[in-house]
Structure 1
Amino acid sequence: MFVSSGQELKAICESRNIKIWQYTVESEMKRGYDEKTIFEQMKKNLEIMKISSNHGMENEVISVSGLIGGDAVKISDYSKSGLSLCGDFITKAMARALSCSEVNAAMGKIVAAPTAGSCGILPAAIISAGEKLNKSDESLVQALFTASGVGILIAQNASISGAEGGCQAECGSAAAMAAAAVVEMMGGSVGMALDAASIVIKNVLGLVCDPIAGLVEIPCAKRNIAGTVLSLTTADLVMSGVKSKIPFDDAVSAMNKVGKEMSCSLKETAMGGLAATPTGECLKKSALKLHKNSRI
């Protein structure tokens, strides 16, 4: 049984001098899986993440609806130009995030981490940070277990579903998971990792889920970019010594309450937000028309 709060997780990890990823692996082993099998499965997930985060940077991937596509290549090319204000590290991470979203929208294989709509954030953050820090695949796999542990806590105490809690629960959770994982990858403590997750949640609190035409493409793909950048910058923020004034558990609790108070029109129904704008309605019609014609 996994612990039910960040406070409990921190206490256990600190008392045993272990990381979140180690506790997460141990919890999986208690369910009857051996350590080798657990690591092999997560390594498979990592390989899929690598492919999906790179494919769109090298190929113009167009979604089935035609709503999105080809932008990951543009960002990737721009990252090599030397013109970016943010530098090649952040822009390449942005390209990776968008690549995953484009592959997903084109019916390619991705890892839902924690959902398909937020599939680009964790891969982009983990792989980019690993590349920057010269980390091995083993370290990346460990980071994914850290992210999983944080994701479990969010799922237990709030939601990772846009239909239940808005995009704060999808892209927000993914970014929180990624930030915590990157902090541990950088040598930060369990407390620091949870601080990073808390800061991310605070910064996305109230983010609505308003997919145009009900498809996780617009604005979802670009929110994956935003979530990736937020996770990486927050990791640096925490590693500099900045702490979250609001504990992780309180942040998750607040996200849960905000999600419940949010209107149904703002929770993946495509009835509010950007989906209900004049442009959103036009894009919906064009996407549905293309889908209808493709089935003839």
Structure 2
Amino acid sequence: MSILFDSFDEWRKYCSDENKPLYEPVLRYEREQKGKSEEEVWTGLSKAYLVMREAVQTGLTQEMNSFSGMINSGAKKVANLPLSVLSPEFQKLISRALAAKEVNSCMGRVVAAPTAGASGILPGTMVTLQEIHDLPDRTILEGLLIGAGVALIMEKRASISGAVGGCQAETGAAAAMASAAIVYALGGTVDQAFNAVAITIQCMLGLVCDPVAGLVEIPCVVRNASAAAIANSSAQIALADVSPVIPVDECVDAMGEIGQSMEAKYKETALGGLAATPTGQAISRRVLIQDIEIMDDEEVPE
């Protein structure tokens, strides 16, 4: 169990052969890796989920203004808009994903799930899901364990790092984690949960990592919101037993192949994409000048 499973097929087979719920092998993996009791693992998960909820609340109630000026309380604006594009619930989902990620961009406390750059996706999806369906915390925590298992396999077979595989590997992994957790929490089967992961990956393939000025702000924050929406749509599709056609392990492998062939300028280097636009370059120069001025102000006179 040192690497959990090599594939989703192995995970599926284990749960079928041992008649275990989807989260059980991940729980056992956590206990073995960290030398903790089952109670300690659940306590740790509860603390993590509390931080997620606090990040959502902070982002929706406090001013979120980043040093660069690119983040300016966007989550509050979305939450308070009197017009809902689809429904109030969808509006909450989007604003909450934005909120938690804005907290990260403004140097607040978040849960890297699986990375800080994707830290708004699980909070946005799980907090909203719990509210809509009145789910107990235990169900949400089991979902988070399943999400962790998804990330472990994706990391092994492809990557969960924007610097290695582009944003498809970072926000894509978080969205895949969330989609599996959603399906599980709503009583879906193992196959449906893994189909949700496959569908999510298919929707995220090829997404580049192009942070403006090298900061995890633009387009990272809004991508957290869009990834949260994709996680929910994938779960909805999978719960209806719509097949992804391409099996989940093959989808993960395709993500890895695309990440390997992606040019370096599209993998967190801020040398391509939005970061290389005239506006992106102008922002980069302005942020650099601000950094230099701060360093000059902090110098101690001889």
1:194-231 deviations in Å (ceiling 9; x for gaps): 11011111111110000001111000000000100000
Query: What is the match of residue 9 of structure 2?
Result: 7
Distance 2:150 2:22 in 1: 8
Query: What is the match of residue 300 of structure 2?
Result: none
Query: What is the match of residue 132 of structure 1?
Result: 132
Q: Identity of paired residues, percent?
A: 39
**Structure 2 gaps, min length 5:** 298-302
Query: What is the match of residue 269 of structure 1?
Result: 269
2:60 is equivalent to residue 57 of structure 1: yes
- The change in CA–CA distance for 1:290 and 1:67 in structure 2 (over 3 A counts) is farther
Higher RCO by CA contacts (8 Å cutoff, separation 6 or greater) = 1
- The change in CA–CA distance for 1:63 and 1:29 in structure 2 (over 3 A counts) is same
How far apart are residue 294 of structure 1 and its match? 4.1
Say if 1:48 and 1:109, in contact at 8 Å, map to a contact too.
yes
Once the two structures are overlaid, the 10-residue window that deviates more, 101-110 or 27-36, is 27-36
TM-score by length of 2: 0.94
Give 1:187-206 correspondences, 5 Å limit.
187-206=187-206
Report the RMSD for the aligned CA atoms in angstroms. 1.2
How far apart are residue 292 of structure 1 and its match? 3.4
Given the alignment, which residue of 18, 41, 44 partners 1:41? 44
1:52-103 deviations in Å (ceiling 9; x for gaps): 112111122111222112100011112xx3x312211111111111111111
Partner of 1:209, secondary structure, is coil
Partner of 1:112, secondary structure, is coil
Partner of 1:20, secondary structure, is coil
Once the two structures are overlaid, the 10-residue window that deviates more, 232-241 or 107-116, is 232-241
Give 1:140-159 correspondences, 5 Å limit.
140-159=140-159
Query: What is the match of residue 84 of structure 1?
Result: 84
Once the two structures are overlaid, the 10-residue window that deviates more, 242-251 or 256-265, is 242-251
Query: What is the match of residue 110 of structure 1?
Result: 110
Amino acid at match of 1:39: W
Give 1:86-101 correspondences, 5 Å limit.
86-101=86-101
The number of aligned residues is 293
TM-score by length of 1: 0.96
Distance 2:270 2:113 in 1: 22
Distance 1:231 1:35 in 2: 29
How far apart are residue 127 of structure 1 and its match? 1.2
Given the alignment, which residue of 25, 31, 42 partners 1:23? 25
Once the two structures are overlaid, the 10-residue window that deviates more, 28-37 or 188-197, is 28-37
**Structure 1 gaps, min length 5:** none
Once the two structures are overlaid, the 10-residue window that deviates more, 165-174 or 125-134, is 125-134
Distance 1:19 1:223 in 2: 31
- The change in CA–CA distance for 1:94 and 1:294 in structure 2 (over 3 A counts) is farther
How far apart are residue 268 of structure 1 and its match? 0.3
Say if 1:198 and 1:244, in contact at 8 Å, map to a contact too.
yes
2:73 is equivalent to residue 70 of structure 1: yes
Say if 1:147 and 1:181, in contact at 8 Å, map to a contact too.
yes
Say if 1:99 and 1:120, in contact at 8 Å, map to a contact too.
yes
Distance 1:16 1:157 in 2: 24
Distance 1:38 1:127 in 2: 20
How far apart are residue 26 of structure 1 and its match? 1.6
